[in-house]
Amino acid sequence: MSDLAGIDIVAAERRIRSHVLRTPLVAWPRGRLWLKCENQQMTGSFKLRGALNKVLGLSPDELRLGLVAASAGNHGIGVALAAKVAGAKATVVVPQHVVSSKRRALERLGADVRLADGDFAVAEAEAMALAEESGAVWISPYNDPQVIAGQGTLGLELGAQWPVGREETVEVYVPVSGGGLLSGVGLGLRAAGVRARLFDVQPENVPYFERYFRGQDPSTVVESPTLADGLAGAVESRSITWEIVRRVADDVLLVSEAEIADAIVDVYDATGMLIEPAAAVSVAAGRRSRAPTRLALLSGGNASPDLLERIRGAGESASPA
């Protein structure tokens, strides 16, 4: 799949296959919805795929310069593990209110963790400036063909796992922040020959791609706090993902904070899996549909240990799928 912005998903699959898990595709216990469980990936998130493909494709000279990333947690953890595999040093700049468990995971993997004086936008600006000043390699979480190709291996993997006939169309729901996951999965599903309707899912409180998809200016978005903090933050104005998402997505769906919380509780009660709020947006959107074949991509499971208790304490309850 090398005809779009240098995104070669087949080559990415060969490069990273020995370093990632083939994660389960499971049927929702009550039926009607499949779950692709990237929350069970080695680092607890799909982000490892893109980070590995980018880092393992660097030259020895580039690796000696070191790696720099900005992350609310999962991308940084992926970069830190990829750096360890490649024998490189990784510096990860995190937002001021990063989840403590994710910061500890970064430190355990040997990353140099630096706390930004602000939110993710501040962390990203500081990290990009650090990379430019030091000469280290900047590892974008989404605006990079190699990162997108790595995420696209999920689409190829789904094609190999898919138990439903190829003539049937599946609705696929994908959490979106910078658009790297949806871009890669969309291209990967096409390469695998899976007939899919692809839905970009975002919280109502951070509707950047929804604005763009509707022909509006995403820079006019005023964010509100969201439980799905891993999906928060503006997208680079020149990111290659804007146009790729427009090409591969069939629609953009927004979900409420209540729907996100409800999906977290329902997935836990039905499967025993505690998923991140960012992953729960795909379930929240998928549960609305009555299409016969639906799939929600569970992008990560690195949730705060007290997440379920906080949601239930706030009075959210699960509803049927």
Query: How does residue 119 score in pLDDT terms, banded at 50, 70 and 90?
Result: confident
In this prediction the pTM is 0.93
Check if the beta carbon of residue 318 is closer than 8 Å to that of residue 261.
no
Predicted local confidence at residue 101, as pLDDT: 83
Helix (H) or strand (E) holding 34: strand 34-37
What is the distance between the alpha carbons of residues 177 and 173, in angstroms, rounded to a whole number? Answer: 13
- Let me know the angle formed at the C-alpha of 290 by 288 and 296, rounded to the nearest 5 degrees: 60
Per-residue three-class SS string for 154-216: HHHHHHHHCCCCCCCCEEEEEECCCCHHHHHHHHHHHHHCCCEEEEEEEECCCCHHHHHHCCC
**pLDDT tens digit sequence for 152-175:** 999 999 999 987 666 789 999 999
Domains in the chain: boundaries: 9-46+144-313, 48-138
45 closest CA partner among 223, 294, 301, 225: 301
Same CATH topology for 9-46+144-313 and 48-138: the answer is yes
What is the distance between the alpha carbons of residues 186 and 154, in angstroms, rounded to a whole number? Answer: 9
Q: Rounded mean pLDDT of 106-116?
A: 96
18 closest CA partner among 69, 56, 62, 58: 56
What's the CATH number for 9-46+144-313? 3.40.50.1100
Q: Evaluate whether the domain defined by 48-138 bears CATH number 3.90.1300.10.
A: no
Q: Rounded mean pLDDT of 261-290?
A: 96
Listed in sequence order, the residues at least 6 apart from 52 whose beta carbon sits closer than 8 Å to its beta carbon are 15, 16, 19, 20, 78, 81, 82, 85, 150
Q: Sheet holding 25-27: strands in order across?
A: 25-27, 34-37, 294-298, 170-175, 196-203, 251-255
Predicted local confidence at residue 166, as pLDDT: 62
Dig out the tokens for 69 from the structure.
């990333």
User: Which of 30-34, 73-77, 108-112, 120-124 has the least mean pLDDT?
Assistant: 30-34
Q: Which residues of 93-129 are buried (b: 16+ CB within 10 A; e: fewer)?
A: bbbeebbeebbebbeebebebeebeebbebbbebbbe
User: Which of 100-104, 259-263, 282-286 has the least mean pLDDT?
Assistant: 100-104
How many Cβ atoms sit within 10 Å of the Cβ of residue 42? Answer: 14
